[in-house]
A and B are shown apart, each in its own frame.
Chain A
Amino acid sequence: GAVVSQHPSRVICKSGTSVKIECRSLDFQATTMFWYRQFPKQSLMLMATSNEGSKATYEQGVEKDKFLINHASLTLSTLTVTSAHPEDSSFYICSARDREGTGNQPQHFGDGTRLSIL
């Protein structure tokens, strides 16, 4: 089945550090990947849509200069949290959609990155 790999699984770092999270589709190509954030006991909230070869589309209220997204290939998207602060601590999850799929199809999710900013 379709597999999405996310790395690292956990990051603990000091305030002011920039953190890069990778999302890879392992057995399919994805022209579109999605980045979500999930706070404890809450649902997933879409942050941005990552488009291969073009700029990401950010949801309202998400700072594009704070959360840098790069989708340089059909199997890799990266999210960089720049100058992270404690309020950025959260569970970040990516998902990918198979470019070969037609019509409606489920997104495949990575196992998330737990980011803790001290």
Chain B
Amino acid sequence: GESVGLHLPTLSVQEGDNSIINCAYSNSASDYFIWYKQESGKGPQFIIDIRSNMDKRQGQRVTVLLNKTVKHLSLQIAATQPGDSAVYFCAEKLRSGRRALTFGSGTRLQVQP
């Protein structure tokens, strides 16, 4: 998702549907990507990661897809549940040098029961 001033882009889905959250990352030198979930008033919680030598990785109910050609990352959540409602951030790490992460602008996921 792209940052629009102070308003996070919001994805609203029905419980049970699949969700797809998108992220455009900035640096072609990044070699490691992570999706985090952040609930209100809490720190980011690790969901899934992927290295740049892969284009897909699956976890429990989640799949991350990486398209290095267009520098695009997506998070797919299967059978979305109300507990999945949160803000989701993608983060990238450069191939060399510092170990700090650069975070994307975030997308709010709202799951309607």
Contacts and interface: CB of A to CB of B under 8 A. Distances in A.
Given A104-B49, A106-B34, A43 B99 contact: no
Contacts of A110: 43
Interface residues of A, number: 26
B43 A43 contact: no
B61 interface: no
Contacts of B105: 42-43
Contact of A97 (B34, B44, B99): B99
B45 A109 contact: yes
Interface in B71-113: 89, 93, 98-106
A96 to B, nearest CB: 11
Q: How large is the interface on B (under 10, 10 to 19, 20 to 34, 35 or more residues)?
A: 20 to 34
A118 B32 CA distance: 40
A108 B6 contact: no
A4 B36 CA distance: 15
A104 B98 CA distance: 12
A43 B108 CA distance: 12
Contacts of A108: 46
B62 interface: no
Interface of A, helix, strand, loop or mixed by DSSP:
strand
Contacts of B57: none
Contacts of B41: 111-112, 114
Interface of A: 4, 6, 32, 34, 36, 40-46, 49, 57, 93, 95, 97, 104, 106-112, 114
A118 B104 CA distance: 30
Nearest to B32: A104
B3 A93 contact: no
Contact of A34 (B34, B49, B100): B100
B103 A44 contact: yes
8 contacts: A34-B100, A43-B3, A95-B44, A104-B93, A106-B49, A108-B46, A111-B41, A112-B42
